[in-house]
Every structure is written in structure tokens, then in C-alpha cells.
Amino acid sequence: MQNFHVPEGLISSLRSAKKVMVITGAGASKESGLGTFRDEDGEWSRMNPMDMASPNGFSKNPTLVWKWYRHRRQEALNALPNLGHTSLATMEKLFDTFEIFTQNVDGLHQRASSKSVYELHGSLHSYHCFDCSQPFENIEPINDETPELCTHCGGLIRPSVVWFTESLPVDVLAKAEVAAKECDIFMSIGTSSEVFPANTFGTIASHYGAVTIEINPHPTIQSDLFTYRLPYASGQILPLIVQQLQEK
């Protein structure tokens, strides 16, 4: 870790902070071996997003979509939280408020023991009815091949992920907007900053006086807007940040 550099001003800002807001994207999970979607070789380069991740796609071929999401869920369960995930879980204990708003649906933050995790795009590990929206009553579906049926209306059970053309969870979005206005530190980790509305929170946080930090090996379309940019993977730099914070 001696090859990685963390600006002294960044550590100083973190040490004096009370409230921290974190946004994580696919890059945070890529370090655990999970594929991304928007990279040149990502999932969307191999399939039509509207076929696999939209209400219309599910209506046309529910079996295909169901099997794909069950496969993705198993991949997520086979993956392990990486040093980025575990470092964030440690950092959570060092601040009065430390909230993670993730665009990922894999549950790795929770498995790393982070407590304040809010899923902007839903989860691979929960389900509800496509027709009546009732949550799935069983802990876990038992059929990987075809969707199970809702016990309330007989409709098809679907994964509780946010698909194209659907709105983000209103309660999570509202909480994120409040967090962006109130945080002392805003951290963007492993996200391309191209997806609305997650890509607006850093600007909001900066407008309200927060120090903003981007952690991503590659520059993004918003890199120039951040107070600090760390060109590393989260699993490389976050352990060093935690180490320096704990040395205070």
C-alpha cells in the first residue's frame, strides 16, 4: 500500500467529519469478480437491456428473464466482499453518520457487515408480484427455471430490482437527497457517474459545502467536479484510508 497516495487534506477532512455519504457503483463489485454492465465488454454489450431488464421484456419472456436473474443472484452469492466493502464497514464505525447508497443489487455491502445500506436499484435477493406488487411471502423462491406465482393474485413473481422505465424507490431516493445536503464528506466509489439520479448527489453535496471524493481507477465525466480524485480501485485505497484514520 506504500505505493498509493492519500492527500493529507483528504484525511484531515475525514477526521473532522461527522456525516459521510457514500455512493457505490459496479466498480466496487467488479473487484469481487462480478461483471459490470456499462463497460465496453460489459453485460449490455452482449444483450439488449430492454429484453432482460424491463417490464416489457419480462412480459414477453418471463422464463428467460427469471432464469437470468436467478443466475445473477447465484453469482452474487458465490462472490465475496472485497477489501473495499470491508473497509467501508469499518469506516461506518468511525463517524456519527455513515450512509451507503448503492447502485449495486448484489448485497455485498450487507455481507461485509455494513449496517446503513440503501439500495437505489433494488436487490437480487428479494421478490414481489409483477401484477399486484405484493412482496413475496416465502424467504426464497425454490424454482430457478420459471417464476413462481403470487399467493394473492396468481401473478408472476419477479426480482425486486429496478428495471428500465421504472422509478427508483421513493423512500430511498428521498433519504439520499437529504444525505447529500447534510453530509460533510461525499464519496463516489466505483461508479461511472453516468446514471441519473445517482450522478446528481455529488453536485448537491458540493453545493451544500461537502468535501467530495471520487475513487475510481478511470476518470469519469464528473471527475473534474470532485475536491479529490483517487485513481485507484476501492480495495486498494480504502484500507489505507482506514489505516490512517485509525492512527489519529
Q: Count H helices, E strands: the chain?
A: 10, 8
195: pLDDT strictly greater than 60: yes
Query: How many beta carbons lie within 10 A of that of residue 178, not counting itself?
Result: 12
Distance CA 6, CA 240 (A): 8
71 is catalytic: no
217-232 pLDDT per residue, tens: 999 999 999 999 999 9
Distance CA 245, CA 248 (A): 6
Give percent above pLDDT 90 in the chain.
84
Q: How many Å from the N-terminal Cα to the C-terminal Cα in the chain?
A: 18
Query: How many beta carbons lie within 10 A of that of residue 117, not counting itself?
Result: 20
133-153 pLDDT per residue, tens: 999 977 678 889 999 999 999
Which residue in 109, 121, 128, 218 is the catalytic one? 121
Mean pLDDT computed over 151-165: 95
Statement: 35-78+122-161 belongs to CATH 3.50.30.10: no
Domain boundaries of the chain, sorted by first residue? 6-33+81-121+168-248, 35-78+122-161
Distance CA 187, CA 180 (A): 10
Given the candidates 3.40.109.10, 3.40.50.740, 2.60.40.2300, 3.40.50.1220, the CATH classification of the domain at 6-33+81-121+168-248 is: 3.40.50.1220
**In which band, very low, low, confident or very high, does the pLDDT at 188 lie, cut at 50, 70 and 90?**
very high
**In which band, very low, low, confident or very high, does the pLDDT at 1 lie, cut at 50, 70 and 90?**
very low
Distance CA 56, CA 153 (A): 20
